[in-house]
Amino acid sequence: MSKTITLNQPLDMHIHFRDDDMLKLVAPLTAKTFAGALIMPNLVPPITTKEALMSYKKRIKEAQGFEDFEAFVTIFFQADYSYEFLADIKDEIIGIKLYPAGVTTNSETGVSSMDIKALSPTLESMSKLGIPLCVHGETNGFVMDREKEFMPIYESIASAFPDLTIIMEHITTKAAVDLLDKYPNLYASITLQHLIITLDDVAGGMLKPHLFCKPIAKRPEDRDALLKIAVEGHPKVMFGSDSAPHPKHKKEACGCAAGVFTAPIALQMLVQIFEENNALDNLDKFLSLNAQRIYKFKAIDKTITLVKKDYVVPSLYEAFSQKVVPMFADETIHWSLEQ
C-alpha cells in the first residue's frame, strides 16, 4: 500500500496570480491544492485604490472557479495613504506590500527612498490599525548583496514601529535568518526554490531561465540556513511560494523575466523535502499554523492528500492563450496529489 500524507489547511502566503488570461490559467491551479493564498498587488497599474482592489478580488473569485479557496489580497504600498483610507479597506486586505522602486517585476512605481520619516504616515496608520507590512527587501546594489544590504532598513522599521507586524518576503540569505529573532515583530516567508537551489543551479552551467527569479538564489550556506529553519518548524517563518508565472516566450528570451512558476508542484515538493529531512511532523507549522498565528486569521477547513508515487511534471501549462513552464518541467518528483 502506498504511503500517504494529509495536509490540513495548506496556505501559500506569497503568490502572483497576475491578471486577465494569466489569472484564469494560474488561479485554479492554486485554488485546487491550497486553502488560501496571499496574492501580490504588482499588476499594471498596481492596486492602490479601493475600486481596483474590489475589482481584482472579483476577478480572482471568478477565475478560481468552484474550489474551496480563500484569496487574501494586498495593496501596493504608497507613503501617503491616509488613516481614513486604510481604515475603510482594512477588512478587505490582509496586508500592504512594499516594493523599492525597480527591484522586481512591475515595481517601477514603488518606493524611491527608504527614508523612514518619509514612509511614516502610512506605517503609523498601519501600526495603529494592525495591518501587516509585507516587504520585498532588496536594494539596487550588487545582485548577490541586495538582500543583505536591506537588513538595516528592516531593523530601522522594526525599531521605529514595534507594534507593526513586518514580513520579510521570500528571504534568501543567512543574514535574514540571523535577523529574524532579533526583533519580535519580524517574520519571514520562504519559497520552494530557495530551499532547493543555489545560484550555481541557475547559472553555473548552461543558463536555466526558468530558475531565474528575484531575489536571485544565493550560496549553499544561505540555502542551508533557510532549509534548517523551515524543517525545524521555526515559529516565525511560513511558506510563500512567490510562484511568479511569465509566458514561455518572455522567460526563454533576451531580458529573461524574473520568476519561478512552482504553484502546481509546491505541495508535492514540500512533502518530499520535509520527508528527506525527517521533519514531516513540522510541515503543518511551515505550511499553515505559523501563518495563521502571524496574520491572526483562521483558514477555511480543507485537506489535501498526497501519495508517495512518482509524478512527471508537465512540460507546460497552457490555456487562455498563455503558455507557462513550471519548475522541474519534464522531471520526475516522488509525491503526487491523490486523484
What does the DSSP assignment read for 289-300?
A: IHHHHHHT--PP
Catalytic annotation on 181?
no
Cell digits for 287?
505550511
Q: Are 105 and 243 in contact (CB under 8 A)?
A: no
The CA distance from 104 to 90, in Å, is 26
Q: Across-strand partners of 15? A: 39, 243
The gap from C-alpha 108 to its chain's centroid, in whole angstroms, comes to: 19
What does the DSSP assignment read for 34-102?
A: -SEEEEP---SS---SHHHHHHHHHHHHHHHTTSS-EEEEEEE--TT--HHHHHHHGGG-SEEEE-BTT
Q: Are 177 and 183 in contact (CB under 8 A)?
A: no
Q: Are 167 and 189 in contact (CB under 8 A)?
A: yes
Please pick, among 19, 91, 242, 310, the residue that the annotation labels catalytic.
242
Q: Are 34 and 69 in contact (CB under 8 A)?
A: yes
Cα dist. 272→5, 31, 51, 259, 326 in Å? 11, 21, 41, 22, 17
Cα angle, residue 135 at apex, residues 129 and 298 outer, rounded to 5°: 55
| Active-site residue list | 242
